[in-house]
Amino acid sequence: MFGDKPLFSRRQLNILMVAVTLAIALLANLDDDSGSRSAAEVPTERAEVAGVPVYWSSRHRQQPSTLINLALPAEAKPQRLYAVLQELTGRLPAEVKALRYPDRWTVLLPGAADLASTLSALAAPLPDNEWQTRLERQRTQRYLQGALPAQALTETGGNAAAQAANLHRRLLSRAQLSLSLSGTELNPASLEQALMRLPAGEPWPARSEMPEERGPGLALPGRHSPDYPETALTARLLTILAEDRAAVEFIPGGLHSRLRIRPLQGSSDSAFKTLRQRLETAPERQLEGLQQQFLSDLQARLEDPEGFAYQQGVQAFYRLPLDYWPGFVARIEALSASALTQRALDWLDRAEQSESTDDPKKPAPGTAPP
């Protein structure tokens, strides 16, 4: 009846192909609604399982992950802590990412990785003689890098191996642990079974007991402060104006953050003078552009599966509110360019005054964890 005439013309076939592509995209969005929401409106839930804070979200189902946070002791001897973290990193598969921050060590497990087996592998004890071997190897590496004198290679180290073993035991406990689960629903029974692979442990001495003046640099609001969003944006502004990432060091924390300003490369003037001049002459549109870029970067991280895992991990580690990111964005949007400039200038005044003080306040001596 129809002979050899095709059912559809070339134009109709093209339209049909586009329609099918759109239908596939629509069905994908029904499975993962992350594309239909603002990144600041990330749906996150919170629970406590076996004494461990757990934040989870069903976003990014196509790329689920588990992020492990382990709180680090505030005053452990750096070489001892480095040796323990180096040992733990070596126990992870090559595809698993581990990052160290000043107050925590994080491990990002892809969806196929098993949390229970990972925790068991990390917590497996080492005898003291094995720790001694690792500490000696570390001393040799530091000597070859010029960080240790030759006589340090022959030092016995006393009970350093026993202290490293104890630090490892205390670190791998539920008291130091927090979790971020993305792309999945929470299964409390299964998760509890995995978490019970670790001992309950005792938390490190609270960082809130540390005086605000501890450590070099200017003390600033931490993540628990309502002013932290403005603090983070101001630190970004100074870093950009310095044109030298090493010159401005911003270390965020829970109760307090710290800012250090070092000399600028290629400048004979002080960093404070140079930064003041650049701040006072920065056009308003540059500051507004920085503000928008700052928010765009945050949104991009939240919309990326791996970036979202880390941002939700920040919430879990610091026990931040579930609506933290919407509030963060609102504070940034409400900050005017003039207020941002004034905040940065005030920081420079305080930082310069702190650096030039003849008799700086010294922190009380602390003790390393046993």
What whole-number distance in Å separates Cα of residue 230 and Cα of residue 227?
6
Predicted confidence at residue 361, as pLDDT, reads 44
242 and 262 in a common domain? yes
φ/ψ (deg, to 5) at 224: -80, -10
Predicted confidence at residue 370, as pLDDT, reads 34
What whole-number distance in Å separates Cα of residue 58 and Cα of residue 69?
19
What whole-number distance in Å separates Cα of residue 286 and Cα of residue 294?
12
| Cα-based distances in Å from 164 to 97, 174, 370 | 23, 19, 9
83 and 57 in a common domain? yes
C-alpha closest to that of 63 among 308, 319, 352:
308
Residue 337 in tokens? 């360019």
231 and 322 in a common domain? yes
> Does residue 285 belong to any structural domain of this protein?
yes
Alpha helices (H) along the chain? 10-31, 78-90, 115-123, 128-144, 160-171, 188-195, 228-242, 271-281, 284-303, 305-318, 324-334, 337-356
CATH number of the domain that residue 284 is part of: 3.30.830.10
Look at residues 151, 182, 204 and tell me which one is the last residue of a structural domain.
204
> Does residue 59 belong to any structural domain of this protein?
yes
148 and 39 in a common domain? yes
93 and 71 in a common domain? yes
Q: In what order do the strands lie in the sheet with 256-261?
A: 218-221, 256-261, 248-251
Q: In what order do the strands lie in the sheet with 97-100?
A: 45-49, 52-57, 177-182, 65-71, 104-110, 97-100
> Does residue 26 belong to any structural domain of this protein?
no
What are the residues facing 177 on neighbouring strands? 70
Domain, as residue range, for 153: 34-204
| Cα-based distances in Å from 178 to 90, 182, 366 | 21, 14, 26
C-alpha closest to that of 365 among 74, 21, 125:
74
Domain tally, the chain: 2
222 and 160 in a common domain? no
> Does residue 196 belong to any structural domain of this protein?
yes
167 and 74 in a common domain? yes
Determine how many CB atoms are found less than 10 A away from the CB of residue 208. 10
Look at residues 175, 204, 233 and tell me which one is the last residue of a structural domain.
204
193 and 44 in a common domain? yes
> Does residue 269 belong to any structural domain of this protein?
yes
| Cα-based distances in Å from 44 to 62, 115, 311, 365 | 17, 20, 11, 40
Look at residues 186, 204, 222 and tell me which one is the last residue of a structural domain.
204
> Does residue 332 belong to any structural domain of this protein?
yes
128 and 75 in a common domain? yes
> Does residue 39 belong to any structural domain of this protein?
yes
172 and 224 in a common domain? no
Predicted confidence at residue 192, as pLDDT, reads 95
193 and 46 in a common domain? yes
163 and 242 in a common domain? no
Determine how many CB atoms are found less than 10 A away from the CB of residue 152. 13
pLDDT (tens place) for every residue of the chain, 370 residues total: 445 555 555 444 433 443 443 333 334 434 444 444 444 454 789 999 999 999 999 889 889 999 999 999 987 888 889 999 999 999 999 889 999 998 999 999 998 788 999 999 999 999 888 888 888 887 777 767 766 666 655 555 568 888 999 999 999 999 999 999 999 888 999 999 999 999 999 999 866 444 444 567 899 999 999 999 999 999 999 999 998 778 899 999 998 899 999 887 766 668 899 999 999 999 999 999 999 999 999 999 999 999 999 999 999 999 999 999 999 999 999 999 999 999 999 999 998 887 765 334 433 333 333 3
